[in-house]
Structure 1
Amino acid sequence: MDTSIEHNQNAPGAEASRRRYSRRQLEDLLPSLKERDLQILAAIRQCRFFTSQQVCRLIFLGEKPSTANTRAINRNLKKLRELGLIAVVEHSRGGVKGGSSTIVWYLTEAGERLLRLADHDKSERRSRVVDPSKRFIRHTLAVAECSMQIREICARHDGLTLEALELEPACWRPYTHIGKVVSLKPDLYAQTLCGEYEDRWFIEVDLATESISAIIDQCRRYHEYYRSGLEQEEFGVFPLTVWIVPSNARRDALKEAIRKTFDKLAPLFAVITPEELEPLLTQELNRDALC
């Protein structure tokens, strides 16, 4: 069965993404959009970049892939693009991962304004994409993929409930360090309920593009935030910080470095590969992942 996402090369591109709407025009447009259209727009806004396949998996969460679902999402994406509410990252046409079918979407300014209108949000903040690098897009898509995997894992397990899922910048935590206000910036925050046990997670998606020493520096910021006591004061517990790394070798090297560096400090971290995410969330992972 062919469930690949097609892309209409004749659909409007940059011209549609530059379309200007007045507030009145957006108010007139909003009632014509269906609930699924708004779900897609909100998902792309939350993740900043989203592939067509990820959109399809989110909208039909828990369902088996099908040609009918794929075609339905293609129609929605084509419609939203023609309205100028979403656009394609131009250098994604060749595929962020090298595949020509990888189409990466982002929300245009018009799409952002329409969602604010739908949410009764009167703020004037703007979020624009300015020629993002392939490295940035690759990492952002990896974070989006991790968020999708968390949703899918929770949907597969009756005893596992996703209570909260936040991506950056919503998951960032401001705190004071040496008299300056700084922010802890995890890629994701998740809160799950497994049976009677609630778990909270800060998640960092590592693509092995940074040195181990750079990651250790990031780990020090987690200890700074832990010592601030802000998270514990507000929520009663401090989340486990989970580093998701691309290989067993990377996992083992990072675990060793964390254990050596923070030997006498509170164990705040786990290091896993993507295949270990499901056992982690279902509390079936060997405690050797902790460090």
Structure 2
Amino acid sequence: MSPTDVASLLLRLSDRDMAVLESVRAHRLLSTAMIRRLHFARAHASIGAASGATMRVLRRLESHGLVVRLMRRIGGVRSGSSGIVWQLGATGERLLRTVRGEKKRRRYIEPSPAFIAHTLATAELGVQLTELRQSTGVELVTIETEPTCWRSFVSPHGTLEWLKPDLYAVTASGDYEDHWFLEADRATEHPGVIVNKAKTYQRYAATGAHQARHGLFPAVAWVVPDVARREALRAALAADKAVQPELFRVVTVENFSQLIRDGRPETSAIPDGSTKLNSRSESA
């Protein structure tokens, strides 16, 4: 895409159009309903009016190849337009890459059902964080999606290891900031997998690298679909003697917003005997 093509296309796009494209790029996949909640909810008197405006904009962006709809819908055909899942189109990818001055091309293909479900579950947490800012005044200071939120570190054995949270976020309320590593759990993995990832978080915390940059270590929260899954993960974390369950939170999707509003109390647990964890800091 030449600079002339980019300039010509940008003239046709509003600030909201660009914001929609950036959101789809950041989250990789978004449903129509999620896009409505992120960018159209406050400008319209009813959900119906906002939904209609959302689809009009998405069809226009689609006509330019900026976004494409996936074959698979959330909730099937009965979900209507709200269940359509969108990702960047080839033109949208080139446009944003050119605007950002990036060289590396992202390839977008029809993803698997499992990838779609997990990506949308993660996106739902990001949408809820934005809605909290709009409805309760909880400020969303930072949000990092995959792979930007991933962290690399050297393990105790001297090998390179990766921590791959689904989201990293910093929220602020009153005089405090709360820092979060968030995991969107769909109850598809054995609890032992979650326990192993908790240990990866502890190994990363023990390096002190995050604390050196930010002065604290984030709270780690698994957001699960129901109470049964919540209790299963809590029990698994508590049963493993190598895990410090007080460092982690497991909440249902229904209670996720409440967790963010309340924040997480400070903890003085020290995994390696020297690194203090603290998910809350006093804002400047």
TM-score tier (shorter): 0.7 to 0.9
Q: C-alpha distance in 2, partners of 1:206/1:215?
A: 9
1:1-291 equivalent positions in 2, closer than 5 A: 21-62=1-42, 65-90=46-71, 92=72, 95-100=73-78, 101=80, 102-118=83-99, 121-158=100-137, 160-177=138-155, 178-262=157-241, 265=244, 267-283=246-262
Amino acid in the other structure paired with 2:69? V
Instruction: Report the Cα offset of residue 148 of structure 1.
Output: 0.7
How far is the alpha carbon of 1:201 from its aligned partner?
A: 0.6
Go from structure 1 to structure 2 and tell me whether the alpha carbon gap of 1:286 and 1:201 turns closer, same or farther (over 3 Å shift): closer
**What is residue 9 of structure 1 aligned with on the other side?**
none
For 1:65 and 1:43, the matched residues in 2 are separated by 22
Farther-moved stretch of structure 1 (188-197 vs 123-132):
123-132
Alpha-carbon contact 1:61-1:155 (below 8 Å) kept = no
Quickly say closer, same or farther: Cα 1:284–1:203, change in 2 above 3 A: closer
The answer on whether the counterparts of 1:96 and 1:134 sit within 8 Å (CA) in structure 2 is: no
2: CA distance, partners of 1:274 / 1:286: 20
TM-score, normalised to structure 2's length?
Answer: 0.85
- After the TM superposition, which of the residue ranges 179-188 and 258-267 deviates more from structure 2? 258-267
Determine helix, strand or coil for the equivalent of 1:130: coil
- Say whether the 8 Å CA contact 2:149–2:168 is kept in structure 1: yes
Q: Secondary structure at the match of 1:203?
A: strand
Instruction: Name 1:11's counterpart in structure 2.
Output: none
User: Which sections of structure 2, spanning at least 5 residues, go unmatched?
Assistant: 267-284
Unaligned 5+ runs, structure 1: 1-20
Do 1:166 and 1:189's aligned partners in 2 also have CA atoms closer than 8 Å? yes
TM-score, normalised via structure 1 length: 0.83
**Structure 1 residues 135, 97: CA separation in 2 closer, same or farther (over 3 Å shift)?**
farther
Number of residue-to-residue matches in the alignment:
262
Tell me if the contact between 2:195 and 2:243 (Cα under 8 Å) persists in the aligned partners.
no
Distance 1:62 1:277 in 2: 22
Matched residues, percent identical?
36
Q: Letter of the 2:208 partner, please give it.
A: G
Residues 128 and 264 of structure 1, relative CA distance in 2, 3 Å threshold:
closer
Q: For the Cα contact (< 8 Å) 2:30–2:85, is it kept in 1?
A: yes
